[in-house]
Chain A
Amino acid sequence: MTQLLSPAPSARERGTAAKPADATNTVLLAATIVFLLAASLCVYTAILLVSAAKPGLWTAVLAAVALLLILLGLATAIPLVRGYRAARAGAAALASGDVVSGRRLRFRGANSAWITLGSSLPVSIVSVFVLFLLANNHAVQSTFFDVSFMAKSLGAVSKAFTVNIIIAVIAEVFVLVFGLVIAIARMAPGQAGRPIRWLATTYVDVFRAVPSIIVIYLVGFGLPLANVPILSGMSPMWAAIFALTLTYSAYVAEVYRAGISSIHWSQVSAARSLGLSHGKTLRFVIIPQAFRRVSPPLLNDFIGLQKDTALVTIIGTVDAFTQAKTYASNYFNLSSVTVVAILFILITIPQTRFVDRLLERDEKKQRLQG
């Protein structure tokens, strides 16, 4: 008993204090090497950048970029320094016999080293990307990122981009409704519902199989060619909306169906037992619950739809991509197309972040409910 209580430090304990048996030193060493590599890459890139600049306003801008690059590279040293300091303090604490705070400090030191390692990678990638732009006497940069040409095309391209937005928004509204109709048809009850279920399933199979560019092509050129009444008179923009609605309703119907079948059958029992019919059960109990669950995958499909609006260029709708291509072929420079890409990025990123937020919220809710 007394033996157990007496705090006499054993030889082993003292041994540990003298020679820390953890990986902190190794990690610090690795972080130092990687930092040196990344920082020199940054500096090298910055020097190239400044020397490639033609005199004028651009020198100032490029110098600023170069400076930023150097700062980024050097900033990764901050956690490294902190790491060395903590590790040294930790070693000192261990030597003086304070095992707990020694261990804690050395852990902090290793952690800081990992931060340096982690941030060196993106910094290096940025440098490599800049080097890529500068390659071949900065041909890459002037082909894809000719800033003055981008500025020149920006006006016309973004004006044409409203066509993409209009097509996307109108198609999305149609898809929301038509997709639900198909999903409900796929779940038509009973024997009488079988042909309807079959029809809806065929629709979904077909339109998920056919690439949307082909649907757009067939609708845009085929309907006028076949002189289909009413439909053949559609403008290319409406043809695009029609085609995208056909394709994406099939996807969204599947999303709805997954959402609806994820609602526990006991909810149907409860609703039916209260005298609600099949239709009213769907309308008041099942679909409202399903709607909440499907919003993330629904938004994902909508992002896909928005991107596919660029395909309408093949039927002669003057959208942002068509407009940018005109510029590109007139000036032998693709930077106007880069502008379109950037516009798509700008509208898509907020939506993807929003989806992430929704998913996070659902996850939290589910964790709360156990």
Chain B
Amino acid sequence: MPFLELNNVVKSYGENTVLRGIDLHVDKHEVVCLIGASGCGKSTLLRCVNALESINDGDIRLEDDVVSGEGVDVNALRRKVGIVFQSFNLFPHMSVLGNVTLSPIRVLGVSRADAEEQALALLKRVGLDHKAGAFPDQLSGGQQQRVAIVRALAMNPDVLLLDEITSALDPELVAEVLNIVRDLANDGLTILMATHEMSFAREVSSRVAFLHEGQVLEIGPPEQIFGNPAQERTKEFLKKIIEAGRL
């Protein structure tokens, strides 16, 4: 039984159908990368999994329990599914520690002392424990994104969604963020990530899914997708990526 399942998921914004029947299964401890042209629906897909967007058809299941549609406790779902955004979205009026401990304290009911202890341990892991008292605008983009990852991890999610988390970073800051993702993947965290970092996707992912016009056109192990794609569209996309020097 797959850990996270998307079955025939359809999502439209008014007339514009963005996801046209997505089928995607993610097993526990798997790292699945979503690749595809900008606007093909990667962010929308991730936001649907996290119930930040409602879906129009199909269903999403977590451990075989339907987590989409009416009557679902979205706050309970979001405790299990963490998401990190391209633009960090840290809370600017809170310190790093405040950002990380907010939801453990206010949602899980953890005591402040325990939450801070856990937060500091996590921050230490990403090399930012010395920035616990800093505010987001005092950090570099890479540091902000690392804090955002820690903030999601502080809720102990079962699956982590990463939406192009390095796309807003200066090139020299990309590695420090990807190193953390690599660590998390090695630790066995289930990860579903949209990315344009093809060589990283090739290195860490168990499987790569190529999205085209709101559908999973091709999915398979990275060697297959990058080395010997079956679909013409996938080849075209990868060719453009290679031309841009990104692979």
A189 to chain B, nearest CB (A): 12
Any B CB within 8 A of the CB of A269: yes
| Pairs across A and B, CB under 8 Å, 25 listed | A267-B91, A269-B52, A269-B85, A269-B89, A270-B90, A270-B91, A271-B91, A272-B52, A272-B74, A273-B50, A273-B78, A273-B82, A273-B83, A274-B78, A274-B102, A274-B103, A274-B155, A275-B79, A275-B103, A276-B106, A284-B106, A285-B102, A289-B91, A289-B92, A289-B93
Count of A interface residues, CB-CB < 8 Å: 18
Any B CB within 8 A of the CB of A14: no
Residues on B facing A (Cβ under 8 Å): 47, 50, 52, 74-76, 78-79, 82-83, 85, 87, 89-93, 102-103, 106-108, 137, 151-152, 155
Q: Which residues of chain A come closer than 8 Å to B92, judged between CB atoms?
A: 289
Q: Which residues of chain B come closer than 8 Å to A273, judged between CB atoms?
A: 50, 52, 78, 82-83, 152
Given known A-B contacts A269-B52, A284-B106, A276 and B89 have beta carbons under 8 A apart: no
**Which of B47, B89, B152 is most buried by chain A, counting CB atoms within 10 A of its CB?**
B89
A365 to chain B, nearest CB (A): 9
Any B CB within 8 A of the CB of A51: no
Q: Which residues of chain B come closer than 8 Å to A274, judged between CB atoms?
A: 78, 82, 102-103, 107, 151-152, 155
Are A280 and B106 in touch, CB under 8 angstroms? yes
**Which of A266, A269, A271, A274 is most buried by chain B, counting CB atoms within 10 A of its CB?**
A274
Q: Which residues of chain B come closer than 8 Å to A277, judged between CB atoms?
A: 75
Are A275 and B155 in touch, CB under 8 angstroms? yes
The 4 closest A-B pairs by CB, nearest first: A270-B89, A274-B103, A275-B78, A275-B107
Any B CB within 8 A of the CB of A288: yes
Roughly how many angstroms separate A269 CA and B53 CA in the complex, as a whole number? 10
Roughly how many angstroms separate A271 CA and B102 CA in the complex, as a whole number? 9
Any B CB within 8 A of the CB of A292: yes
Describe A's contact surface by its main secondary structure: helix
Roughly how many angstroms separate A369 CA and B93 CA in the complex, as a whole number? 14
Are A369 and B89 in touch, CB under 8 angstroms? no
B243 to chain A, nearest CB (A): 31
Near B by CB (< 8 A), chain A positions 240-284 give 266-267, 269-277, 280, 284
Which residue from B50, B87, B102 sits with its C-beta under 8 Å from A284?
A: B102
Roughly how many angstroms separate A369 CA and B107 CA in the complex, as a whole number? 31
Q: Which residues of chain B come closer than 8 Å to A269, judged between CB atoms?
A: 47, 52, 85, 89
Are B93 and A292 in touch, CB under 8 angstroms? yes
Are B50 and A280 in touch, CB under 8 angstroms? no
Residue of B nearest to A274 (CB): B103
Q: Which residues of chain A come closer than 8 Å to B90, judged between CB atoms?
A: 270
Are A288 and B93 in touch, CB under 8 angstroms? yes
**Which of A273, A280, A288, A369 is most buried by chain B, counting CB atoms within 10 A of its CB?**
A273
Q: Which residues of chain A come closer than 8 Å to B151, judged between CB atoms?
A: 274
Given known A-B contacts A280-B106, A369-B137, A275 and B75 have beta carbons under 8 A apart: yes
Given known A-B contacts A280-B106, A284-B106, A272 and B78 have beta carbons under 8 A apart: yes
Residue of B nearest to A273 (CB): B83
Are A276 and B75 in touch, CB under 8 angstroms? yes
Q: Which residues of chain A come closer than 8 Å to B78, judged between CB atoms?
A: 272-275
Residue of B nearest to A266 (CB): B89
Roughly how many angstroms separate A267 CA and B78 CA in the complex, as a whole number? 15
Roughly how many angstroms separate A323 CA and B79 CA in the complex, as a whole number? 63
Are B87 and A266 in touch, CB under 8 angstroms? yes
Are A280 and B107 in touch, CB under 8 angstroms? yes
Residue of A nearest to B98 (CB): A284
Q: Which residues of chain B come closer than 8 Å to A288, judged between CB atoms?
A: 93
Residue of A nearest to B90 (CB): A270
Other than the given A275-B103, A369-B137, 9 more pairs (CB < 8 A) read: A269-B47, A270-B85, A270-B91, A272-B74, A273-B83, A274-B82, A275-B76, A285-B102, A292-B93
Residue of B nearest to A272 (CB): B52
Roughly how many angstroms separate A289 CA and B137 CA in the complex, as a whole number? 14
A345 to chain B, nearest CB (A): 35
Roughly how many angstroms separate A272 CA and B78 CA in the complex, as a whole number? 8
B84 to chain A, nearest CB (A): 9
Q: Which residues of chain A come closer than 8 Å to B75, judged between CB atoms?
A: 275-277
B192 to chain A, nearest CB (A): 14
Q: Which residues of chain B come closer than 8 Å to A275, judged between CB atoms?
A: 75-76, 78-79, 103, 107-108, 155
Residue of B nearest to A280 (CB): B106
Residue of A nearest to B148 (CB): A270
Roughly how many angstroms separate A266 CA and B74 CA in the complex, as a whole number? 17
A148 to chain B, nearest CB (A): 54
Q: Which residues of chain B come closer than 8 Å to A292, judged between CB atoms?
A: 93
